[in-house]
Structure 1
Amino acid sequence: MSAVEMHRVVGSRRWSAGRIARVSVMLLVAAFFVIPIIGFIAMAFRNQENVAAGSDGFLGLGGMSWENAVYSWSQIVGFGPGGGGLFPRWILNSLIVSVVGGVLGLVAALPAGYALARLRFRLRKAWLFATLLAMVMPNTVLVIPLFLEVNAIGAIGQLWPVAIIMGFFPFGVYLSYVHFMTTMPPELVEAARIDGLGEVAIFLQVGLPISKQVTALVAFFSFVANWTNFFLPLALLTSSQQNKTVSIGIQELIGASPLFNATVAAGLDVKLYMPQLALATFISMLPLLVVFLTAQRFLIRGQTVGAVKG
C-alpha cells in the first residue's frame, strides 16, 4: 500500500461517521452552555432602551458599545448613600477575605496534610475522619454557631473574623494528605530522619519543594470557595454596608433594581437595570478568571494528585 493510500485510510478512520457524530454532539452541548454566557456578557455592553425594545440582534449582540459599559459602571459606582462607592469597596473586601483566608488555609493545610500522611501519633485516624466529616458538612450548618461565637466577642460586621474563619479549609487538608501519601514515600522520610533532620525540617526541606502542584490546587480551591461564600458573610457582615463582600453585594444590587423591587428602587437616585446588573456580575467574576489563568499550568499538573505512577 502506497503512502497516499495509507494516508487516505487513516484519514477515513479519523473522521468516521461515529467520530463525526460524537464531535457534533459535543459541539451542540458546548453551544448550549456557551451561547447564554455570550449573551450575558454582551448584556453588559448594551443599554436598557435596546433591551426593553427587544432589538438585541443575533445572540443578543445588537446595540453593544463601550460607552454603554462606561455608563453602566458609573451607575454601579454611584449606588449607595453619600455618592455611592459601595461596589468597589465590596470587591476590595472580597479580595481581602479571600486572600487572607486562602493564605491561612494554605499555611494550615500543608503541614496538617503532611502530619496525617507521614507522622504516626495517637488518634491519627480519628483526626483524619474528623477532617473528612468537616469536608462534607454543609456550610449552612455552621453559620449559626459561628454567628454566636463572633457575636460573643463583639465582632459582628468586621472583616477579620470572616477572613480567619475562611482559613478553615478541610478540603485543602485532604488534598495535602493525598499528595504526601502518594508523592512522598516513607523511605524518603526515614532517610531524612537518619540524616538527622527533625520533622519540621523534613517538611520544610523535603516536603515543600515537591508540593508546587498541591499548593496551587489548595490555593485555587480555597480562593474560589472564599470568593463565592455567601452564607458566612451574610450572617456576619450584614450590619455594615461598607464591610460587605461582593457575593452579598450583588444580591443587594438585584434587590434595589426596579426590575425586581420597584418600591426600594423608587427612593434611589441610581437605577440599576439588566445591563448594570450584568456588568456588576461580570466584574465580580473577573478575579476568579484571573486566578484560574494564573494557576492553570499547576492546576493541569495537579489533576494527577493521588494517581499511582506506573
Structure 2
Amino acid sequence: MTLTIPTPVRAPSSDRRGTQGRSARRSLLSRIGPMGIMTIAAAYVLMPLWWLLVSASKDQGQLVDGNPLWFSDVSVLSNLQQLFAYRDGLFLRWLLNSLAYTGGAALLGTLLAGMCGYALAKYRFPGRELLFNVILGGVLVPATALALPLFLMFSAVHAANTFWAVFLPSLVNPFGVYLARVYATTSVPADLLEAARIDGAGEVRTFFTVSARLMTPAFLTIFLFHFVAIWNNFLLPLIMLGDEKLFPVTLGLYTWNTQATQNPELRGLVLIGALVSIVPMIVVFLSLQRFWRGGLGAGSLK
C-alpha cells in the first residue's frame, strides 16, 4: 500500500499579483488619508502665521490694496525701525516688561511647582490627599474668575498698578504641581532617596542633586507651558495695570489696536509688533527642544 501525499493547490500567478496589487493600494490609501488630514490641519494652523508675516512687510497702503497672502514690497526692516522708534521706543519697553514678567515668573513658578509636586509625591503627612485635591481643583478654576478678587486683594494693600501685581499671581501654577507629582511618583525611586539619606544628604540637597535631575523632563515641560501661559496673559494685566509703562506686550498691542481707527498708522505697527512678540516663544521652544527630547528619552530607559 502506497501513501499518496496530496500536492497543495497553488493559486494562479495572476490571482497572486491581483491580491498583492489590492494590498498595495489599500496600504497607499491608508497612508494618503492621514497625511492628507495632517496637511490640511497644518495649513489651517500656519495660515494665520503666514498672513501675519506677509502683512508685517507692508505699509499702510499695501495693507488695503495689495494681495493679502503675498508680499507686495518687502519692507520689514523699515517697519521694525518705525516700531521701535514710535513714542521713544515704547514697544521695546513693553517687550522688556513681558520678558521680566514671563522669564522670572516661569522660572520661579516652575521651581515652586516642582518642589510642591515632589513633596506631595514622596512625603506622607496628614491631609496630603486633601491638599492635592484642592490644588487640582485650582486647575479647573478659570483665570477670569480669579482676576477681580486678585485686583481687590492687591488694591487693599496698595499694590495694584505695580510690577508685583502681575508678577506674584503669575507664580502660581496648579497644573505644574499636578504634572510634577505624577512624574516624581514614577521617575524618582524611593530606594535612591533612601540611599542618599543614608549617605548623609539632607532633604534639600537630595532634591536638588538627585531628584531634580531625574525630573528634568517634567521641569522643562512645566516651564514651557508656564512661559507660554504668562506671555499670552492678557486679562490680569488689563485689570491690574493702568500705567502704560508697565504694560506687557499683549496689553500694549491691544491698546494700539483700539486706537487704530483714529490713528491708522498704528495698524501696521500692531501687525509688525505681533510678529515680533511671538519670536521669544519660538526661541525658547527651539532652545529647549533638544533637552526636552533628551530628557524624555533618558527617562524612558530608567
| Same structural fold, with TM-score higher than 0.5 when normalized by the shorter chain | yes
Gap runs ≥5 in structure 1:
none
1:16 maps to 28
SS at match of 2:172: coil
Q: Distance in 2 between matches of 1:218 and 1:26?
A: 27
- Asked whether the 8 Å contact 1:216–1:299 carries over to 2, the reply is yes
The yes-or-no answer on 1:279 pairing with 2:288 is no
2:53 maps to 41
Q: Can you list the C-alpha shifts for 1:95-149, whole angstroms capped at 9, x where unaligned?
A: 0011111122022112111110000111111111111011221111111111112
Q: Say which of 65, 71, 83 aligns to 1:76.
A: 83
Q: Report % sequence identity.
A: 31
The yes-or-no answer on 1:236 pairing with 2:209 is no
Q: Distance in 1 between matches of 2:145 and 2:295?
A: 30
Following superposition, the deviation at residue 92 of structure 1 comes to 0.5
Q: Distance in 1 between matches of 2:113 and 2:40?
A: 40
Within 5 Å, which residues of 2 pair with 1:1-310? 12=24, 16-53=28-65, 55-56=66-67, 60-65=69-74, 68-79=75-86, 83-237=87-241, 239-258=242-261, 262=262, 265=263, 271-273=265-267, 275-300=268-293
SS at match of 1:60: coil
Q: Distance in 1 between matches of 2:91 and 2:142?
A: 28
- Asked whether the 8 Å contact 1:150–1:156 carries over to 2, the reply is yes
Q: Distance in 1 between matches of 2:47 and 2:126?
A: 55
Q: Distance in 2 between matches of 1:169 and 1:152?
A: 24
When normalised by structure 2's length, the TM-score is 0.84
Which is worse superposed, 241-250 or 296-305?
A: 296-305
Q: Distance in 1 between matches of 2:224 and 2:198?
A: 36
2:12 maps to none
- Asked whether the 8 Å contact 1:76–1:272 carries over to 2, the reply is no
Question: Residue 216 and residue 296 in structure 1: after superposition, are their counterparts in 2 closer, same or farther (change >3 A)?
Answer: same
Q: Distance in 1 between matches of 2:197 and 2:48?
A: 57
Q: Distance in 2 between matches of 1:77 and 1:24?
A: 42
Q: Can you list the C-alpha shifts for 1:56-82, whole angstroms capped at 9, x where unaligned?
A: 1xx7213131xx323333443354xxx
- Asked whether the 8 Å contact 2:56–2:271 carries over to 1, the reply is yes
Q: Can you list the C-alpha shifts for 1:175-207, whole angstroms capped at 9, x where unaligned?
A: 211111010122222333344433223212321
Q: Distance in 2 between matches of 1:302 and 1:128?
A: 26
Residue type matched to 1:256 in 2? Q
Q: Can you list the C-alpha shifts for 1:264-300, whole angstroms capped at 9, x where unaligned?
A: x3xxxx8222x33221111111111111111112334
